[in-house]
Structure formats: structure tokens, C-alpha cells
């Protein structure tokens, strides 16, 4: 693969200010995302999963330049965009779009569907006239499977799945090459989720859009992603092609996560064994030293408490950050030689 990745993130960290209630106020902050690196190829879907508060949304927002990076570098289509400003940033924003979880609050209730979808076209001056905008809007609504008469109606008269389609039509208007989809189907009914998932898969195949697909639902992520990255407490602990993640997980946290997801097949599910780790989610303001998973990890050793394990190759295209699950790469090479 010599093609430039659509997106390349290197060593990204993001801090949020923390309000301190103390008498001697000091500007404190939490590091919500630490040293995250990832790449997405054109037309590829990278699934990003992890528990609540692990930093998924923050990674997405940093990529879209909606929160500042406190360290690291973000490159988009070969250009460093970490510190773009003004006009250049506005142009960039047209090429990267966001689809949000909540189809109920992400559309302006006082605008017609036509205006909602046309707005980015007009703002970026991509259409010369209202008539041209209307033509574009018709095409976009058709593309996402909305009836033509949807254009003149308001968001409240549509169901959740339809509103999510409207959001997608709007995101597509500027022909982006990257879409960050942050939990795009979590708020939808089970029977409607498949409609939206299928639509996103079609778009990606036909238009070659790269997706960062953020979700809790590991089954949907398996279905839609080419590769999957697992986050834990602000760090990526494993990233690999989807079959490798689901069939041959390396990191103990990934294993625990996968074993906790129930499978919708009674005999299979009854026979599965869960790896239940004690303990609670990490307080990101005061994360554990070394490997952040060590207080819950069944195979943790001394080293895990003291040193941060690097995200390193464990097999072909398979990276993980664990001191005690390694050597897979070395082993393979021995076998092959």
C-alpha cells in the first residue's frame, strides 16, 4: 500500500480543563486522550470502541479540529492540519464531516429538510443558485432513500431512522472524504439500525468515503469495519483487522470486552464463558500508573504497574499494548524462517 492514508494521527493527546473547587485555584486539567496514533485509508472504515469515558468522542472531535490537540499531529490527505486556522480550517471542514448519535437534537427543528441539507452547500458557496441547491438536495435525499416530498417537511415529522438519514444526506452534501460517525445508530430502534448501517456501507463502497465509526456495540462494529481499534482509559490498547480482533484478540482488555458481549443465539450464549474482571471504570483524572488496565488485569506483573506498554506489532498488521502478550510477531517469524 503506497497510497497516502486519508487520515493519519500520531501521538495525539487532548487535555480538558478541570474546574477545581479549592481555595487556591490552580488551572488543573485531565488528559482525556493520551498518545493516540491511528491511520485510516481512503474508503476504509476504522471502528473505534471502548467503554464510556475512554475518549472515543474526544478522538473524533480532535480529528475534526473541534477540540485542540495538546500534543501530537493530525494529517489529512497528506497535509498537517493540527494547527490550521481561519479560511484553511473552514475549507478543511468541508472535507471532513460528522454524524452524531442523537437524530433528535442534531437537526434544527425550525428548518425544513431541504434547508438543512442545502445549508452546507450555500455556506461553502458550492451552488450558484437556490434552484441548483434544490436539485442537489433532491439527489442527496434520493441517495439516502428519503422520499422526494421529505424536502418541504420539518424534522419532527420523521422517525429516528429517517432523521439519521437526513443527517447523513447533509453530511454527504460537501462530498467529504472522511466521515466521523459518533454512535450513529445507538439511539435507533433495533429494526431501524440495520437500515442506517446498510446505507453507510453502501455509501462507503460507492463513494469511497473513509469512516471513523465510533460505537459501543461490538457486533455492529464487526459488521461494518475493516479494522478495529480498542480504547481503554484514553489510550489505544489494540488495533487490527476485524477478523484478527474478533478471532485472535491479543490484549487482555479486548478479550474481556468481547467475552462480555452476549451473542444472540441461546445455545451459543449459554455455553460461553465470561471473563469477568473486578473493579470499576478508570477515573481519567487519576489514571493508574503503567498499563492503565493493570488493576483489573488477570496477568499483570510488576512491570505493568511501573511502565507504560507501547503499542507495538504483535502479528501482521496487528498492534497491541501489553507487556505480557507479546512475541507473537517473533514467533511467527521463527516459524516462517
Partner 1 sequence: MNDPLLEIDDLRVDFDTRAGLVQAVRGVSLTLGRGETLGLVGESGSGKSVTAQAVMGLIDVPGRIAGGAVRWNGMPLVGEGVRRRPRRIWGREITMIFQNPMTSLNPLMTVGAQLGEVIHLYLGLRGAAARTRAAELLDAVGISGASRRLDQYPHEFSGGMRQRVMIAMAIASEPRLLIADEPTTALDVTIQAQILELLAGLQEKLGLSIILITHDLGIVAGLCHRVAVMYAGQIVETGTVDDIFARPGHPYTQGLIRSTPRLDAVEDRLVSIDGTPPGLRTPPEGCAFRPRCPAAQAACHAPQRLASHGAGHVACCRAGVDAWDVGAA
Ligand X SMILES: Nc1ncnc2c1ncn2[C@@H]1O[C@H](COP(=O)(O)OP(=O)(O)OP(=O)(O)O)[C@@H](O)[C@H]1O
Contact residues for ligand SF4, defined by CB under 6 A:
251-252, 291, 293-294, 297, 299-300, 304, 309, 322-325
Selection from ligand X, ligand SF4, partner 1, none that 16 binds (CB < 5 to 8 A by kind) is ligand X
Question: How many residues in the shown chain lie near ligand X by CB under 6 A?
Answer: 12
CA angle 72–76–78, rounded 5-degree value: 100
CA angle 105–108–112, rounded 5-degree value: 130
Give yes or no for residue 331 binding partner 1 (CB under 8 A).
no
CB of 157 to partner 1, least distance (A): 12
Sheet with strand 312-315: strands edge to edge: 96-99, 178-182, 210-214, 45-49, 227-232, 235-241, 318-320, 312-315
Whole-angstrom distance between the N-terminal and C-terminal Cα of the chain?
24
Give yes or no for residue 32 binding ligand X (CB under 6 A).
yes
Residues 243-282 that bind partner 1 (CB under 8 A): 243, 246, 256-270, 272, 274, 276-277, 280-281
Q: Which is nearer to ligand SF4, 174 or 315 (CB)?
A: 315
Q: How far, in Å, CA of 176 to CA of 276, rounded?
A: 41
Which residue from 34, 57, 177, 225 is in contact with Mg ion, where contact means CB under 5 A? 57
CB of 99 to partner 1, least distance (A): 18
Q: What is the DSSP letter of 135?
A: H
Selection from partner 1, ligand SF4, Mg ion, none that 108 binds (CB < 5 to 8 A by kind) is none
Q: How far, in Å, CA of 201 to CA of 236, rounded?
A: 25
Q: Which stretch binds ligand X (CB under 6 A): 45-53, 109-117, 173-181, 309-317?
A: 45-53
DSSP alpha helix (H) spans, 81-151: 86-95, 113-123, 130-143
Residues 133-172 that bind partner 1 (CB under 8 A): 159, 161-162
Backbone angles phi, psi at 335, to 5 degrees: -60, -40
Task: List residues near ligand X by CB under 6 A.
Answer: 16, 30, 32, 50, 52-58, 284
Amino acid at each position: 500500500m503506497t497510497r497516502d492514508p486519508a487520515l493519519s494521527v500520531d501521538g495525539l493527546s487532548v487535555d480538558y480543563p478541570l474546574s477545581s473547587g479549592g481555595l487556591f485555584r490552580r488551572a488543573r486539567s485531565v488528559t482525556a486522550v493520551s498518545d493516540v496514533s491511528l491511520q485510516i485509508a481512503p474508503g476504509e472504515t476504522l471502528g473505534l470502541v471502548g467503554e464510556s469515558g475512554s475518549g472515543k468522542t474526544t478522538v473524533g472531535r480532535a480529528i475534526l479540529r473541534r477540540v485542540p490537540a495538546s500534543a501530537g499531529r493530525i494529517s489529512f490527505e497528506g497535509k498537517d492540519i493540527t494547527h490550521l486556522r481561519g479560511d484553511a480550517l473552514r475549507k478543511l471542514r468541508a472535507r471532513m464531516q460528522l454524524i452524531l448519535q442523537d437524530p433528535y437534537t442534531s437537526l434544527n427543528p425550525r428548518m425544513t429538510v431541504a434547508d438543512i441539507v442545502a445549508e452546507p452547500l450555500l455556506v461553502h458557496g458550492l451552488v450558484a443558485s437556490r434552484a441548483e441547491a434544490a436539485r442537489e438536495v433532491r439527489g442527496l435525499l434520493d441517495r439516502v432513500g428519503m422520499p422526494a416530498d421529505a424536502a418541504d417537511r420539518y424534522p419532527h415529522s420523521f422517525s429516528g431512522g429517517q432523521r439519521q438519514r437526513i443527517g447523513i444526506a447533509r453530511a454527504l452534501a460537501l462530498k467529504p472524504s472522511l466521515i466521523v460517525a459518533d454512535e450513529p445508530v445507538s439511539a435507533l430502534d433495533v429494526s431501524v439500525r440495520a437500515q442506517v448501517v446498510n446505507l453507510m456501507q453502501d455509501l462507503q463502497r460507492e463513494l469511497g468515503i473513509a469512516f471513523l465509526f465510533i460505537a459501543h456495540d461490538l457486533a455492529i462494529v464487526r459488521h461494518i469495519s475493516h479494522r478495529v481499534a480498542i480504547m481503554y482509559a484514553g489510550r489505544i490498547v489494540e488495533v487490527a483487522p476485524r477478523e484478527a480482533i474478533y478471532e485472535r484478540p491479543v490484549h487482555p482488555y479486548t478479550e474481556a470486552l468481547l467475552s462480555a458481549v452476549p451473542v444472540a443465539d441461546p445455545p451459543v450464549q449459554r455455553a460461553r464463558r465470561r471473563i469477568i474482571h473486578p473493579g470499576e471504570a478508570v477515573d481519567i483524572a487519576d489514571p493508574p500508573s503503567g498499563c492503565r488496565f493493570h488493576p483489573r488485569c488477570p496477568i499483570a506483573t510488576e512491570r505493568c504497574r511501573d511502565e507504560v506498554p507501547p503499542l507495538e506489532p504483535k502479528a501482521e498488521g496487528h498492534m497491541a499494548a501489553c507487556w505480557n502478550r507479546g512475541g507473537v510477531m517473533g514467533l511467527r517469524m521463527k516459524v516462517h524462517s
